[in-house]
């Protein structure tokens, strides 16, 4: 999957961004680039899991695996695929869509791959404060792909 620095301009499905909206990337991680880490906050992880489960957008027919997971010694791709995220006994598959949120700044979206919930829970990824705030506020973008 493509790497984008946190809060850099979003440039993937640009035709899905309405005029006047400024969209920024969050959580487009790649093993060639370090990412900020922290022990994930439980409430944040719960909320992120629920939003990813219920409000995924820009869903694609293909699946992305996690390049941060260590390769296994067997199999063809070498890594778990598709990626499963479990929370309180519930399980979702991620790697084929996005989570789009409205930040506190008017006209600004934050767009993360749905893998972000795996990055937070499995790889201790610490997303930008604006993303954490938008997740906790539950400000999902209502209408997109
Ligand atoms: Zn992983």
- pLDDT per position as a tens digit, 50-99: 999 999 888 888 888 898 988 765 555 566 678 999 999 999 999 999 99
Supply the pLDDT for residue 74.
52
Pick the closest to residue 95 from 83, 105, 106, 104 (CA basis): 83
Share of the chain above pLDDT 70, in %: 92
Confidence check: pLDDT of 123 > 90: yes
Gap between the Cα atoms of 116 and 43, Å rounded: 15
CA of 16 to the centre of ligand 1 (A): 27
Per residue, the 3-state secondary structure of the chain, as one string, reads CCCECCCCECCCCHHHCCCCCEEEECCECCCCCCCCECCCCHHHHHHHHHHHHHCCECCCCCCCCCCCCCCCCCCCCCCCCCEEEEECCEEEEECCCEEEEECCCCCEEEEEECCHHHHHHHHCECCCHHHHHHHHHCCECCCCC
- Distance from Cα 127 to the centre of ligand 1, integer Å: 15
pLDDT at 14: 87
Supply the pLDDT for residue 143: 62
For position 72, what pLDDT does the model report?
61
Q: Cα of 34 to ligand 1 centre, how many Å?
A: 14
CA of 145 to the centre of ligand 1 (A): 25
Ligand 1 centroid distance, CA of 67 (Å): 6
CA of 8 to the centre of ligand 1 (A): 22
pLDDT (0 to 100) of residue 50? 97
């Amino acid at each position: 999957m493509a790497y984008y620095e946190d809060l850099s301009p979003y440039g993937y499905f640009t035709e899905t961004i309405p005029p006047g909206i400024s969209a920024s990337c969050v959580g487009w991680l790649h093993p060639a680039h370090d990412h900020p880490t922290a022990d994930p906050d439980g409430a944040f992880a719960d909320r992120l899991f629920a939003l990813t489960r219920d409000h995924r957008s820009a869903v694609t027919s293909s699946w992305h695996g996690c390049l941060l997971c260590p390769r296994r010694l067997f199999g063809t791709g070498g890594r778990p695929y598709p990626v499963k995220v479990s929370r309180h006994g519930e399980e979702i598959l991620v790697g084929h869509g996005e989570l789009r949120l409205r930040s506190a700044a008017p006209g600004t979206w934050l767009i993360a791959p749905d893998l972000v919930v795996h990055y937070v829970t499995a790889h201790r990824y610490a997303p930008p404060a604006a993303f954490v705030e938008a997740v906790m506020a539950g400000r999902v973008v209502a209408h997109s792909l």
